[in-house]
């Protein structure tokens, strides 16, 4: 039985099991460190979900569309009873609540939340791909993820502690714990 069909079976039977998931957080508008902190609180308040740990905040230059402010990024580890699609829907709602507007691809944003990993699930369906399809190319994802979960595994690719060495993290600056960025 595939992990997707097991997940569907648990949902139908009303006994969703707890899954460890990882969410990337990013912002470069309207006080990015504060946006990230508020988003972490929103993650902790999701139904059937517990915020287990989050990484430090990191400042890094934009990629893709370069004419914009630097980003502040982090990664959160959560335990959740939400299925991957349900979790994604909640993440999109949190983005909207934070004023996220999707007008320029890879452009400035108040908040960006990406579902990176959801247990050992490998899933490809419209609007949802897990593991996140570009996570292995992004230092701003792998560096904070390696900080909190070096032994996490990307299905079919390996351990985060090994994968982080494949990205250029030279532009990443870890922000002080009490600093405002």
In this structure, what token pair is assigned to residue 157? 């690719």
In order of their start, the domains of the chain are: 3-174 (3.30.70.560)
pLDDT the model gives residue 14: 54
Integer Cα distance of 12 and 62 in angstroms: 42
Integer Cα distance of 92 and 115 in angstroms: 10
Would you give per-residue pLDDT tens digits along the chain (181 residues)? Answer: 334 434 443 444 456 799 999 999 999 999 999 999 999 999 999 999 999 999 999 999 998 778 899 999 999 999 999 999 999 999 999 999 998 887 777 789 999 999 999 999 999 999 999 999 999 999 999 999 999 999 999 999 999 999 999 999 999 999 998 644 4
Phi-psi region for residue 135, left (φ > 0), alpha (ψ -120 to 50) or beta? Answer: alpha
Residue 134's Cα: distance from chain center in Å? Answer: 12
Helices (H), 64-111: 84-97
pLDDT the model gives residue 47: 97
Residues annotated as catalytic are 100, 109, 112, 114
Residues 6+ apart with CB under 8 A from 133: none
pLDDT the model gives residue 6: 41
């Amino acid at each position: 039985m595939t992990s997707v069909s097991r997940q569907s079976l648990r949902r139908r039977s009303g006994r969703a099991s707890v899954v460890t998931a990882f969410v990337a957080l990013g912002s470069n508008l309207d006080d990015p460190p504060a946006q990230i902190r508020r988003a972490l609180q929103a993650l902790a308040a999701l139904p059937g979900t517990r915020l287990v740990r989050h990484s430090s905040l990191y400042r890094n230059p934009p990629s893709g569309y370069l004419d914009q402010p630097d980003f502040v990024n982090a990664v959160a580890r959560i335990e959740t009873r939400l299925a991957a699609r349900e979790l994604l829907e909640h993440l999109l709602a949190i983005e909207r609540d934070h004023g996220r507007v999707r007008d320029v691809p890879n452009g400035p944003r108040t908040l960006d939340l990406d579902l990176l990993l959801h247990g050992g699930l490998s899933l490809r369906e419209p609007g949802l791909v897990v593991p996140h399809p570009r996570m292995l190319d992004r230092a701003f994802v792998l560096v904070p993820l390696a900080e909190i979960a070096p032994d996490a595994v990307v299905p079919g690719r390996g351990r985060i502690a090994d994968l982080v060495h494949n990205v250029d993290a030279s532009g990443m600056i870890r922000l002080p714990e009490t600093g405002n960025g």
